[in-house]
Structure formats: C-alpha cells, structure tokens
Amino acid sequence: MDVFESRESEVRSYSRHWDAVFDSAAGSTMHSEDGRTFLDFFAGAGALNYGHNNPVLLRPLIDYLLSGAVVHSLDMKTPAKRRFLETFQELILIPRQLDYRVMFPGPTGTNCVEAALKLARKVTGRTHILSFTNAFHGMTLGSLSVTGNSMKRHGAGVPLTNTSSVPYDGYLDGPVPDFLWLRQALEDSGSGLDRPAAVIVETVQGEGGLRAARASWLRGLAELCREHDVLLIVDDVQAGCGRTGTFFSFEEAGITPDIVCLSKSISGFGLPMALTLFRPELDVWSPGEHNGTFRGHNPAFVTATAALEHYWRDDRFAADVAGLATRLHEGLSRIAEATEGSVVRGRGLLTGIFYADPEAARRIAAESYSRGLLVETSGPRSEVVKTMPPLTTTAEELQRGLDILADAAEHVTGAPVTLTTVA
C-alpha cells in the first residue's frame, strides 16, 4: 500500500482507476514514474485546452515569477491583472460585441457558479433557479443544488432547495416538443412553479453524459427566458475557451447570455482561475459583498493573457480546432457504428461514445489506459466514453488516440472496427 492509499482520503477518485504516478508532461503526453507514456485525451477535465506545459505560456510564467512581480494580491490592482482585463476585452469581448463586466469570484469553477446564482437572486429578488436534467455545475452547496447527479447531491448532507430540474435537449427523446412543459409552467400561474430568478445551462453536458444542446434549442431557451424576464446563465466552465471550436460555446447559437461562467481553461496553463461575466446592468454587487482570498492569482493572469494573445488574435486556431473535431467525430462514428445502440455525443473536442451497457464504456476506458490512452467516462451511469484531447493535439496524435480507442473497443465488444485513416 502506498501513501496515497494509506494516507489520502477515500474521497480520491481518478487515482483509483489510473494507478500511474504521473511525473512529467508535455503537450498531449504524460509520463509516469515507472516509464510509461500516455496520450492524454482527458486534458485535466478541460483545464488543459492548450496542453501540458505549453511553452507559449510557460515562458512568460517563468519570466514573471523570476522578475520579482507580485504573485498574490486579492483583488488589488496589478499590471498583470490590467493586461489580462485589457486583452480579454480587446480579443474576446469587443470582437464578439459582448459587453460584460468581469468578476473574479474565486479560483475554481464552482466559485463562478455560486457567484452567478447569488447575483441572479440579488438582481431579481427571486429565489428559485431552474437547471437541467444531468447538469453538472460544481460541488459546493449552491452549485450542487443545480446539479443532477444523485450521488453527488447526496454528499451535501442538507436539503438542496430553491431549485427545480427541467428536461434538457434530447432528454425526452423527441416526441415532446421542446419547452412544452417549461413554457406552460412559466405561463400558468397555477403551475406550482415559482417564477425563477434564472435558468442555468451547459451547452454540452460535460460531466452528465455529453448531450449537446442544438443551436435552435438554445435560441428557444434564450427566447423563453427573455419573454419571462428570467436571467439566462451559461455555465461555460468546461465547454468554453475553445473546446467546442469557438471561444464561447454559445457563439454558434448566436445567443447572448445574461451571465457566463468561465474557469477550467481560462488560465490556459492549468492554474486555478475563474470568471463570472454579466451584463453591466446586472452589476448590483455592493463592494466586497462576494469576497475571497484567492481572486487575483497573478501567475494565472499572466498565462491567461499569453493564451489569448497567442491563440485568439485571429481565426486560425478556431479553424484548426474545427479540423481536429471533424477527424475526431469521424473516428468516433466508426467505433460507435460497430456496436448496436452506440451513438456519438457531444460537440467540437468535447465528444464521446454512448454505450447502452455502461460496463462496456467502463471497460473501454480501462483498456484504453492499459494501451496508453487516458480517457474518462461521463454520464449518470458512466455510460459514455469521453474524449477530450487538448485543442493543440496534432492530427497524428489524434489518429494514434483513435487507433488505441478502436483497439480497446474491439477488445471489449468483440466487434471489429475499421478506422479509415484520415491522412
């Protein structure tokens, strides 16, 4: 028994199915102490969109740390924060005609969700929040109250209140028109649904099984929210920062959420950082009303700025990601076709294969690991094999990952897979 097993809490999870002690990493590759090499199609659950130790980000980070500049500063003014805000404004907000105030709510994804929920309640004076079936928004109480997974909800230990869950796109498998129930419930004063402050949604359900909302569904939701004066919060913690091909995952749908949550890959380097963005009219916070010690991590500002400057100055990176996404989708479709009842789910480089038998998904992920590929599962029964390579993955690495996955799937299901090699 090693110290991880003897000393670390039972709550640990990834280290249970990946026994390697990872000691170095570069780009889409990780190495373990015992000399194994892994292709990383997990990418820090979406925190490593630009790969491990990306030199474009590492160099300015090292220079910053060696320069004697300020590392910790709560929300005081620093040149690093100024540069981040100016760059985010110039390269992300202005070109997309998004006029958002930027709030630093604390370092993690759940922090930016908590801030969004608090703000929506404060602005509207209402308490109720609507979320979607199989949503995942984080592990603190507010975020858990809008999360679907019953095991995770149970961990709260207290009732999770003032929220209701409504069907996500595809949940009812088509026969019921989208928003039939929600529209009716909002319009009927006898429906028993308290008028909500906000609706919180992921455009692709990263943890909850990789269902992707259609652009038309998202537009319908935005319209419904507008009609009923309900705020729309998009949780782009996992699907944002280029994961689906555009910087924000909702750009394709052409909607403008009232509030946006960003974290995971916003620092670009895997350093903790989160943002809550909202329309200026919603900025009703009193100074210090939502506070926190780690809201201004300057090393994260430095790498975040470098990532925006290097990858988001023009459309080239987005075009590369779109090319990779097409190849990934193509390969996953071949693998899914081999098994009855399997389908590809997701969007962009947040994509996976649904298996009717969750055991198949679990075993494919395990067989992939033993063949040198890190892939997770997603969904309430872990029934989806999830592929989330860094956006900087090369076409050759992508193909190698698909080959391993096809081999693992063949081994588990016994059904031969023919991958057409995309040159």
Ligand X SMILES: *Cc1c(COP(=O)(O)O)cnc(C)c1O
Q: Which two tokens stand for residue 315?
A: 């459309």
Q: Report if residue 136 touches ligand X, rule: CB under 6 A.
A: yes
Confirm or reject binding of residue 235 to ligand X (CB under 6 A): yes
386 binds ligand X (CB under 6 A): no
Closest approach, Cβ 183 to ligand X, in A, equals: 25
x-marked contacts with ligand X along 143-182 as a string, rule CB under 6 A? ----------------------------------------
* 238 interacts with ligand X by CB under 6 A: yes
Residue 263 binding ligand X, by CB under 6 A: yes
CA 18, chain centre distance (Å): 21
395/409 Cα distance (integer angstroms): 21
Window 34 to 73, contacts with ligand X (CB under 6 A): 45
Rounded to an integer, what distance in angstroms lies between the CA atom of residue 265 and that of residue 304? 8
The residue assigned the tokens 């309640």 is 121
| Dihedral sign for Cα atoms in the order 24, 26, 27, 33 | negative
**What is the distance of C-alpha 251 from the center of its chain?**
15
Q: Which is nearer to ligand X, 251 or 407 (CB)?
A: 251
The minimum distance between CB 419 and ligand X, in angstroms, equals 29
Whole-number minimum distance, CB 147 to ligand X, in Å?
Answer: 8
Rounded least distance, CB 230 to ligand X, Å: 20
**Nearest approach, Cβ of residue 141 and ligand X (Å):** 13
Tell me which H or E stretch contains 354: strand 350-354
- Residue by residue, DSSP assigns 270-293 as S----EEEE-GGG--PPTTSS--T
* Position among 30, 237, 318, 374 found at the interface with ligand X (CB under 6 A): 237
Nearer to ligand X, 54 or 131 (CB): 131
CA–CA separation, 390 and 45 (whole Å):
10
Distance between CA atoms of residues 262 and 310, nearest Å = 19
Interatomic CA distance for residues 345 and 232, integer angstroms: 24
Q: Are 364 and 215 in contact (CB under 8 A)?
A: no
- Nearest CA to 299 out of 67, 22, 23 is that of 67
The smaller minimum CB distance to ligand X, of residues 261 and 353, is found at: 261
Q: Does 206 contact ligand X by CB under 6 A?
A: yes
Site residues for ligand X, 76-95, by CB under 6 A, read none
The residue whose two tokens read 């992939």 is 368
Site for ligand X contains 202 (CB under 6 A): yes
Place of tokens 């692709």: 204
- The CA-based angle 423-395-402, given to 5 degrees, is 85
Residues, the chain: 423
Starting at the edge strand that comes first in sequence, how are the strands of the sheet with 129-132 ordered?
A: 101-103, 275-278, 259-262, 231-235, 198-201, 129-132, 163-166
Taking CB under 6 A as the criterion, which residues in 283-342 touch ligand X? none
Residues 14-33 that bind ligand X (CB under 6 A): none
Examine residue 137 and tell whether it contacts ligand X (CB under 6 A).
yes
Which residue of the chain is nearest ligand X when measured via CB?
109
| Contact residue for ligand X among 60, 105, 106, 138 (CB under 6 A) | 138
| Candidate list 40, 169, 178, 207; residue touching ligand X; CB under 6 A | 207
The piece of 133-141, 224-232, 243-251, 297-305 that touches ligand X (CB under 6 A) is 133-141
Number of residues located near ligand X, criterion CB under 6 A: 15
Answer yes or no: are the C-beta atoms of 166 and 132 closer than 8 Å: yes
**In the Cβ-directed half-sphere of 339, how many Cα atoms lie within 13 Å?**
25
Closest distance to ligand X from the beta carbon of 206 (Å) = 4
Q: Which stretch binds ligand X (CB under 6 A): 1-9, 152-160, 161-169, 232-240?
A: 232-240
Kindly tell me which residue out of 108, 131, 246, 265 binds ligand X, with binding defined by CB under 6 A: 108
The answer to the question of residue 113 lying near ligand X (CB under 6 A) is yes
Q: Name the one range near ligand X by CB under 6 A: 105-113, 193-201, 284-292, 386-394.
A: 105-113
The kind and range of the H/E element at 102 are: strand 101-103
| Residue 240 phi, psi (nearest 5) | -85, -170
Give min distance, CB of 201 to ligand X, in A. Answer: 10
Residue numbers at the binding site for ligand X (CB under 6 A): 45, 108-110, 113, 136-138, 202, 206-207, 235, 237-238, 263
